[in-house]
Amino acid sequence: MSRGIYRPGIELHCHSNCSDGSLPPDEVMRHLRRCGVRVAALTDHDSVEGLELARSTAAELGLGFINGCEFSALHQGQVIHVVALDFDPAEPRIQRLLHAAGESRAERARGLCAALTAAGFPVSWEEALAEQPRAEAIGRPHLAQILIRKGLCADFDDAIGKLMEPGRPAHVPETWIELRDLLPRLKEAGATSVMAHPGRYRFSTEGRRGFFRAFKEWGGDAVEILCGQGSGTDVQRFGSLALRMELKISAASDFHHKSKWGRPNHYLFDIPPRWQDKLLWLGKSWDPDNFPAPEFVAAAGPAEA
Ligand code: AMP
Ligand code: MN
Ligand code: MN
Ligand code: MN
């Protein structure tokens, strides 16, 4: 299949320190601008806290801005992430979703502190709050950071993957909204819903087909076929399946830290040119005169690492 290196100039999935990213929202916008991004969404986990600052900074920088939030949900017992875009954060349905998610997050964080401590990896509630002062925004990476600093875990994978995932010694059951309830509500609230990082969910081939179909039926709009470290196989596999279900395709970085995705070339994506018109396009969010169409800057070649 013919391929091309695509420069969308758009970033539809990234995090600030309002959730588990390391930069404040204004610094995220400055970083993206330096990376050549022209339109950005800030999509913190279950939070819209950073949108105002991100939006005003983006305006100063001449960067297009889209409201965003990465919601956590459950489907067949698995945690699924949905990137909601282009909505009014004050909309009452959105506010109710955020309130419930915040309560779940704070409760889970307390549970995780107790479970980690009981498993021999002590983290106090005070330490957790020192890492992220808003209880409703505490995530597993904050607790992982504490364990790494104490020398009790080697890295995030060691702390999250080996301790806090289902079946691990300090797992705490998740209490997020069901995906089948989340998607219709996001639609009613006027948001565009994107399935985040499909490669992270465990399904059989048949199960994944059913999952994509349900995502569409319940009101989903698009699927990230490239997100952060996604491989070429994922692009083909998830792209074909998304298009078969009449879902749009999206590409984004899932930026959390400069160290990992600090290079401008990360914003070059390797996807088949013939899918260009299938890309999620939020044209109403900015003036198209100021936002040239995405371009293919090179043919073939390896994807950017
Ligand atoms: P939470 O929303 O609190 O469950 O935390 C999920 C976040 O943890 C993800 O968005 C990633 O930023 C991070 N994360 C999860 N698993 C890993 C892992 N194995 N290695 C590094 N980061 C991870
Ligand atoms: Mn995260
Ligand atoms: Mn995610
Ligand atoms: Mn994310």
pLDDT of residue 265: 53
Q: Please state, in angstroms and rounded to a whole number, the distance separating the CA atoms of residues 234 and 240.
A: 10
Alpha-carbon distances, residue 305 vs 37, 150, 225, 253 (angstroms): 18, 31, 16, 12
Ligand nearest to the CA of residue 160, numbered in listed order: 1
CA of 14 to the centre of ligand 1 (A): 13
pLDDT of residue 230: 65
Q: Please state, in angstroms and rounded to a whole number, the distance separating the CA atoms of residues 265 and 35.
A: 8
- Ligand 1 first shell, C-beta below 6 A: 20, 45, 72, 139-141, 156-157, 160-161, 256
Kindly give the number of the ligand 1 atom that is closest to the alpha carbon of 108.
Answer: 3
The tokens of 89 are what?
């954060």
Alpha-carbon distances, residue 214 vs 209, 210, 261, 285 (angstroms): 9, 6, 32, 27
- Atom 21 of ligand 1 has which residue's CA nearest to it? 156
Alpha-carbon distances, residue 295 vs 4, 160, 226, 274, 283 (angstroms): 10, 38, 17, 12, 16
Kindly give the number of the ligand 1 atom that is closest to the alpha carbon of 138.
Answer: 3
Nearest residue to 39 (alpha-carbon basis) of 6, 67, 14, 11: 11
The tokens of 193 are what?
């819903």
Ligand 1 mutation pick, 74, 140, 165, max ligand atoms within 8 A of CB: 140
Task: Please say whether the beta carbons of 253 and 13 come within 8 A.
Answer: yes
The tokens of 37 are what?
């991004």
Q: Please state, in angstroms and rounded to a whole number, the distance separating the CA atoms of residues 152 and 245.
A: 45
CA of 225 to the centre of ligand 2 (A): 18
- Atom 11 of ligand 1 has which residue's CA nearest to it? 141
pLDDT of residue 285: 47
Domains and CATH numbers, the chain: 4-98+175-299 (3.20.20.140), 102-164 (1.10.150.650)
Mean pLDDT by 10 residues, the chain (305 residues): 63 94 96 87 98 97 94 97 97 98 98 98 98 98 98 96 97 97 98 95 96 98 84 84 95 83 60 80 55 58 42
Nearest residue to 298 (alpha-carbon basis) of 84, 67, 4: 4
Strands (E), 131-219: 177-178, 192-195
Prediction pTM value: 0.92
Q: State which residues have CB under 5 angstroms from ligand 3, the bound ion.
A: 81, 196
pLDDT of residue 289: 53
pLDDT of residue 228: 74
If 0-12 CB within 10 Å is exposed, 13-18 middle and 19+ buried, where does residue 118 land?
exposed
Length of the chain in terms of residues written: 305
Q: State which residues have CB under 5 angstroms from ligand 2, the bound ion.
A: 20
CA 287-289-290 angle, to 5 degrees, is: 75
What is the amino acid identity at position 181?
D
